[in-house]
Amino acid sequence: MPRHYSILRWSCTRCAKVYRLGEQAGAGSKVKIINQLLAGVHIAAAAEAMALGLREGVDAHALYEVITHSAGNSWMFENRMAHVLAADYTPLSAVDIFVKDLGLVLDMARASKFPLPLSSTAHQMFMQASTAGFAKEDDSAVIKIFPGIELPQKA
């Protein structure tokens, strides 16, 4: 085991899990970018699903209850759509964070000429939300790009 990994493992015994990702430098950064790919796509898909439900007249709270107990659930749906239901767009992670992060995802893929159609679409959704004035709002505000829906209001 390389000495730097031993030191890191010892110093992080009280923090998050440390993963061994191989001998090459940079693997951790790549895994972080790939995680952000999934996070961004999941938030965009969650917003799209909730927006479709709203457009179709489904009660938002009922939709949330069913989806969070079904195979279509994701951690991002459960977490971010709770913000939408509460009409609380206080930024915990802002729209512009995903403009940046999905941009990094696409840059990495572009460098190896690897197509990412879902990530590209999610990036465009966050870009649209940002340019519509929601840049500093919580990333769940990406739902605000959908026309013809009435979002839940603060109680």
Count CB neighbours of 61 within 10 A: 10
pLDDT at 18: 79
Q: Indicate the pTM of the whole model.
A: 0.88
| pLDDT mean across residues, the chain | 92
Instruction: Report yes or no: 102 and 119 within 8 Å, Cβ to Cβ.
Output: yes
pLDDT at 144: 98
Helix pair angle (27-55, 60-67), 10° resolution: 140
pLDDT at 24: 85
Question: What digits encode the pLDDT tens for the residues 50-74?
Answer: 999 999 999 999 999 999 999 999 9
Active site residues per annotation: 32
The pLDDT-based confidence of 25 (bands split at 50, 70, 90) is confident
Q: Rounded distance, CA 152 to CA 143, Å? A: 11
Average pLDDT over residues 36-43: 98
**Maximum Cα–Cα distance across the chain:** 59
pLDDT at 3: 55
DSSP 94: B
Strand partners for 138: 94
Question: What digits encode the pLDDT tens for the residues 90-126?
Answer: 999 999 999 999 999 999 999 999 999 999 999 999 9
pLDDT at 23: 82
Helix (H, G, I), strand (E, B) or coil at 138: strand
Instruction: Report yes or no: 146 and 48 within 8 Å, Cβ to Cβ.
Output: yes
Q: Which residue has the higher pLDDT, 142 or 14?
A: 142
Sign of the alpha-carbon dihedral angle for 100, 42, 75, 91? positive
Q: Rounded distance, CA 96 to CA 39, Å? A: 14
Q: What structural domains and CATH numbers belong to the chain?
A: 28-145 (1.10.1040.10)
